[in-house]
């Protein structure tokens, strides 16, 4: 049986991070490439579910929900934040700061979302938003898969704070 110090010194593998983050990132980029290729910016709207869900092509240089869209240097600032975020997650992952499966999934989704939007900023000088939904009480601001990953990651991080993984010390005391 491993001691507490042996368990603490074991560095988590990055394999799970990449197995989760890479397909999510690729799905985000594939959908955005299709949107850019097939739908004119701010012109075409495809109604998928009448009165509820539309696909269109929106240019967003800001952050979530179009905040700071068009602001001076927003692409550089938010691109830099995405790079720092990804670097911090990798460092924290290696140090074991994501002990539960839920927190690891959240970290992987956060990396996929941040890299997805960063790729757009570098490649296109804006983030491709393409999903619009009408929640009946409000028209939700346009977003993309990367934005959805980031929001899901935030929810999972909150959830994981209530469902921490049991450590050997917790098991001994119960």
Q: Which sequence positions are flagged as catalytic?
A: 129, 147
Please, are residues 85 and 108 in contact by the beta-carbon 8 Å criterion? no
CA distance 2 to 155: 33
* Residue 103: φ, ψ to 5°: -70, -30
Write the CB contacts of 15 (distance below 8 Å, at least 6 apart in sequence): none
Provide the greatest CA pair distance for the chain: 63
Q: In the structure encoding, which two tokens stand for residue 31, read together?
A: 């959908």
H helices of 95-167, where?
101-124, 145-162
């Amino acid at each position: 049986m491993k001691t507490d110090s042996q368990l603490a010194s074991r560095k988590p593998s990055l394999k799970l991070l990449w197995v989760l983050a890479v397909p999510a990132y690729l799905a985000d980029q594939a959908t955005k490439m299709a949107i850019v290729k097939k739908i004119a910016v701010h012109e075409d709207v495809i109604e998928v579910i009448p009165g509820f869900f539309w696909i269109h092509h929106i240019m967003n240089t800001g952050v979530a929900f179009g905040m700071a869209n068009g602001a001076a240097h927003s692409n550089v600032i938010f691109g830099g934040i995405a790079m720092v975020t990804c670097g911090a997650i990798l460092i924290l992952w290696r140090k074991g700061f994501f002990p539960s499966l839920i927190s690891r999934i959240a970290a992987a989704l956060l990396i996929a979302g941040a890299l997805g939007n960063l790729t757009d900023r570098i490649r296109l000088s804006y983030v491709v938003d393409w999903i619009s939904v009408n929640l009946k009480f409000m028209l939700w601001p346009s977003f993309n898969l990367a934005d959805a990953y980031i929001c899901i990651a935030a929810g999972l991080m909150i959830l994981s704070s209530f469902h921490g993984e049991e450590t050997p010390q917790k098991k001994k005391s119960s």
